[in-house]
Amino acid sequence: MAPRVAVVGAGVSGLSTAVLAQQKIPGLDVTIISDKFSPNTTGDISAGLWFPHCLQNTTSDNIYRWSSKTYERMLELWQSADADEAGICLVPKLELSENYEPEQEFWSKIPLAFQSIDTAQTCKLTGTHKYKSGILFMTFTLQQSRYLPYLTRKFLLNGGKIQQHKVEQLQDLCGQYDIVINCSGVHARHLVGDTAVAPIRGQVKAPGLFLCYGEQATDGSYVIPKIVILGGTHQQGNWNTNPDPQDTKNILDKCHQLIPALKTAEIISNRAGLRPGRTSVRIETEQLGVKKYEVIHNYGHGGSGVTLSWGCAHDVINILQNILSSSTSIKSKL
């Protein structure tokens, strides 16, 4: 009997981890368990943009490593025959700042064609003197309403299993599976009692745009081409998933300032979701119960779930491989 692994959570982190586990460890028996699958996850309404951010107490070295691994994976996917099915696009990203000296991005060597933009160039690009500097680079957008189903199909075709129900506590899975991987996102606060996890509420509005625009600010505006996604909000501790009319107005006003042409765009949908905020990304093992069942945690990515997804999955699979190779009882199943 093959080792049995349960992945809790069907967002981009859970699906990436499950698919990579199948690739790296042939013969593994993997089951994804979640009460929500695409198109009903927070990830389905996310911007799906590769763009690294500092995440409180998570080291820049880790963010660089995880982001780099994900960028490499996205480049491979974009160059493959699966690109259209996966909903991936290579696009230029323009990030604007009201400061004369833009932030020095520690990740600037990762993306293709990274360059700084001076005041004269920002004026030409935006038609306004509001912005003093910026950065321009090639990045990827992943249309989550296509990418998450793509990963799910890939997982099932490789022999994976799916169970749709809510996991009340991880201990309920111990005994049924040899190892549990916790990718429960913001719900880890209740699932494992992690009070360091808090929701960061985000709201977006979906109205030929082929350039990603961004603004350096706490609630920085962004415009992502696909069906064009406008955002956003960054509201710590807010569990409300219903769109707020004032947030909607603020998003539209700020994005119209960035791109006036959007004023005539048709509004298709208006949605809000909860990013899994935490003081730091959690990737580590824990042993539960008297029999010390192995759990690997992978959550707390904030608004960088897509950016860190493949890199974090690699770290999780490395831990998984170490557990499998060191545990006599589990190793005998391989």
30 annotated as belonging to a binding site for a ligand? no
The pLDDT of residue 208 is 40
Check whether 120 has a pLDDT greater than 90. yes
Closest CA to 184 of 7, 6, 5, 4: 7
Cβ atoms within 10 Å of 153's Cβ, excluding its own:
12
The 10s digit of each residue's pLDDT in 161-183 is 999 999 999 999 988 999 999 99
Torsion of CA 39, 70, 108, 280, to 10 degrees: 80
Check whether 223 has a pLDDT greater than 80. no
The 10s digit of each residue's pLDDT in 245-298 is 776 677 677 766 766 766 666 665 665 545 555 678 999 999 987 678 999 999
Check whether 310 has a pLDDT greater than 60. yes
What mean pLDDT value characterizes the chain?
A: 83
303 annotated as belonging to a binding site for a ligand? yes
275 annotated as belonging to a binding site for a ligand? yes
The pLDDT of residue 206 is 45
Cβ atoms within 10 Å of 119's Cβ, excluding its own:
13
Half-sphere exposure of 82 (CA within 13 A, CB side): 14
Q: How far apart are CA 7 and CA 17, in angstroms?
A: 8
Q: Which residues pair with 112 in a beta bridge?
A: 138
What band does 216 get if pLDDT is binned at 50, 70 and 90? low
Helix (H, G, I), strand (E, B) or coil at 141: strand
49 annotated as belonging to a binding site for a ligand? yes
Burial 184-210 (b: 16+ CB within 10 A, else e): bbbbbbebbebeebbbbbbbbbbbebe
Check whether 8 has a pLDDT greater than 70. yes
Q: How far apart are CA 47 and CA 143, in angstroms?
A: 8
281 annotated as belonging to a binding site for a ligand? no
Least confident of 63-67, 111-115, 166-170, 186-190: 186-190
The larger pLDDT score, comparing residue 103 to residue 121, is at 121
Q: Tell me the C-alpha to C-alpha distance, in Å, between residue 180 and each of 105, 152, 271.
A: 35, 18, 31
Percent over 90 (pLDDT), the chain = 51
Q: How far apart are CA 109 and CA 139, in angstroms?
A: 12
Written as six digits, the tokens of 62 are 């880790």
167 annotated as belonging to a binding site for a ligand? yes
Q: Tell me the C-alpha to C-alpha distance, in Å, between residue 168 and each of 44, 101, 276.
A: 23, 48, 18
222 annotated as belonging to a binding site for a ligand? yes
Helix (H, G, I), strand (E, B) or coil at 177: strand
Helix (H, G, I), strand (E, B) or coil at 71: helix
Q: Report domain extents, the chain.
A: 1-87+143-196+279-334
47 annotated as belonging to a binding site for a ligand? yes
The pLDDT of residue 231 is 62
Least confident of 67-76, 186-195, 308-317: 186-195
Are 326 and 27 in contact by the 8 Å Cβ rule? The answer is: no
CATH topology for the 1-87+143-196+279-334 domain: Rossmann fold (3.40.50)
Q: How far apart are CA 241 and CA 246, in angstroms?
A: 14
User: Quick one: CA dihedral 314, 319, 320, 326, positive or negative?
Assistant: positive
Check whether 227 has a pLDDT greater than 70. no
